Structure 1
Amino acid sequence: MTDTRIDPRDKHPEGGFPGQEQDQPGLTDEMRPEPDHGEETYVGAGRLTGRRALITGGDSGIGRAVAIAFAREGAHVAIAHLPEEQVDADDTVALVKDAGVTGVSFAGDVRDEAFATSIVDDAVDALGGLDIVVLNAAYQKDRDSLASLETEEFDRVFKTNLYGLLFTARRAVPKLEPGSSIIVTSSVQAFNPSHGLIDYAMTKAAQVAFVKALAEELGPQGVRVNAVAPGPIWTPLIPATGWEAERIATFGTDTPLGRPGQPAELAGAYVYLASEAASYVSGAVLPVTGGKPL
């Protein structure tokens, strides 16, 4: 019998990434090295056959990894993304369609209530319904101090991470039948906040409260609500955060596994929470942190 064990410390690069910076929201092809979204490795097993999923922030990073995994598990997938991310979105949709399912994308900003609402209706029209909603769109920026945090920036973080999430979820809930699932991308920052990400961490903690409260509300309707809490994951959000070269070089090396994670390593958590394997899981926060405790 072939031994399929892989040492998790060595599965992906151990960090030490070269210094790099991008403007928000960040693009995949400008990253060095490019993240692994599971393009060459994720193998589906029909766990989501026929389901219809909407993923906000689905163009790159964790969102792309989830889109690839869902599609290869048999789900039809719609993604929402910023207009500046169209190139990444097109690549993601192509990967979804390569799995033999429907793939569509919607360009706009979830801070805009009309857009964050319309993507639900557009996904229902394009996919024939909606069974899975992944609320993943996010914005973060490094802060020197609370005293220098500009209101405009504070607004952008809260409106992207919380308002947009609420707008989309509010529209989606009446369309979800029993057996449907909502999954929020929270963060280890919700539990162990960094001072330089104070506003981002605040929104991630609020998302945990949102998940627990909504799970209580929707449980009697047969709809499950959960969150994934990633640790340090190598996505376009990282070089667009505004960190210096030294911070990029050491990114994720403080985890017990000694390295940052790749988006592909998150995909299985979302598949699990969306699938029948998690039929009795609701109100949970699933950590994927390289061993960092919540």
Structure 2
Amino acid sequence: MARVPLWRRMAPLRWHYLFIAPGVLFFVVFAYVPLLGNVVAFQDYSPFRGIDGSPFVGWANFAAIFTDPEVGRALTNTLVLSALQIVFAFPAPIILALLLNSLLSVRLQRFVQSVVYLPHFISWVVVVAIWQEVLGGAGMVNDLLGAIGVGPTSIMTNPDWFPQLVTAQVIWKEIGWGTIIFFAALSTIPNELYESAAIDGAGAMRRIWHVTLPGMLGVIVLLLILRLGTVLTVGFEQLLLQQNAVGRDAAQVLDTFVYFRGVLGGGWGLAAAAGLFKGVVGTIVVLGANWLAKRLGTRGLF
């Protein structure tokens, strides 16, 4: 039997391909074509000489990364902040979705959800300013502490509290937006399962544990794998805005290192090597997490 040509197989679905073409073109132009620029990581690159005129230095930029103490400090800060966000910020929308789902009043549920996801649309400049007004040296918290005779403290400028502060800001800003996805997962769980569990004598917590969470498991695993892929990305703008307040030792991460060393310092090759290192690590983590998820019996990402 003769093989049907590819164009003949695509012809019946031509309108489908036409609709997805802009999305494919977007990723090709803005995601895949820029990957060719990673050659800068292997050059002593200068924007004045261009890629063709910049000398090839091999692995020298990567060797410089792993021997630079500033990179070690930035990597440590990145991993600490990422771990805190995975442990505390990632489950926060799940918990909120479960709490809101338990409300009997749909109107109250929608009101609370609308209120908590509004901060997602606020820029980090405004978010940091709001937190400064509350927790800064002249903020509302210090005014209350002064009123009760307790000495003033500025959490916004304390390097020891900075990891917890960044995590709290991420939770406050993104928790409501994350609940949208988990509410969609909750809507796919049949009510018959809850009714059967209630007939069998399962209380509210047992229904959550044996019905709700297993029904959400696929979405949770999917989002967790995607989050692990960005383990070396913790929020450039948020940290850059607060770096002067707490110092580089506390707020320098890989993203801000790339900015200061590459864009401002002119170390384009070193910064590109750091970015390529991030991408390789993220890919390895995603593949490993997906493999582990499948071994544990879930569908994984792909």
Interval of TM-score (by shorter of Structure 1 and Structure 2): under 0.3
Give the structure with the larger strand fraction. 1
CA radius of gyration, larger in: 2
Structure with a larger share of its residues in helix: 2
TM-score (norm 2): 0.23
TM-score (normalised: structure 1): 0.24
